[in-house]
């Protein structure tokens, strides 16, 4: 004689409007989270691009300042 017998359990899945509402709210939050992640990625890329452009502009500005300083000071013309 077996120690445990398998019995069949019948489960009725009755869904009301609240179940469907929760499903759609979760789906909307998933879409919202994906959109937020995409916007964060794009803003990080844009910030990196702007930082790189600002760094290049600063380098150009310093080079121009140095060249103007060399041209203005006649004692330094032969050393540059």
Using one digit for the tens of pLDDT, what is the confidence trace for 28-66?
999 999 999 999 999 999 999 999 999 999 999 999 988
Residue 12 lies in a domain: no
Q: What's the pLDDT at 79?
A: 56
Query: For the chain, what percent of residues have pLDDT higher than 70?
Result: 82
Structure tokens at 56: 């290049």
Rounded Cα–Cα distance for residues 25 and 45 (Å): 30
Rounded Cα–Cα distance for residues 34 and 28 (Å): 10
Global pTM value? 0.58
Residue 29 lies in a domain: yes
Total number of domains constituting the chain? 1
Q: What's the pLDDT at 1?
A: 47
Residue 34 lies in a domain: yes
The residue assigned the tokens 């919202």 is 32
Q: Which residues contact 71 (CB under 8 A, 6 or more apart)?
A: 77
Domain that holds residue 63: 17-76
């Amino acid at each position: 004689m077996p120690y445990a017998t398998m019995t069949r359990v019948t489960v009725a899945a009755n869904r009301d409007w609240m179940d469907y509402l929760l499903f759609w709210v979760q789906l909307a939050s998933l879409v919202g989270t994906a959109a937020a992640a995409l916007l964060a990625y794009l803003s990080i890329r844009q910030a990196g691009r702007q930082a790189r452009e600002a760094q290049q502009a600063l380098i150009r500005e310093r080079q121009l300042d140095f060249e103007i300083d060399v041209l203005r000071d006649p004692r330094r013309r032969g050393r540059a």
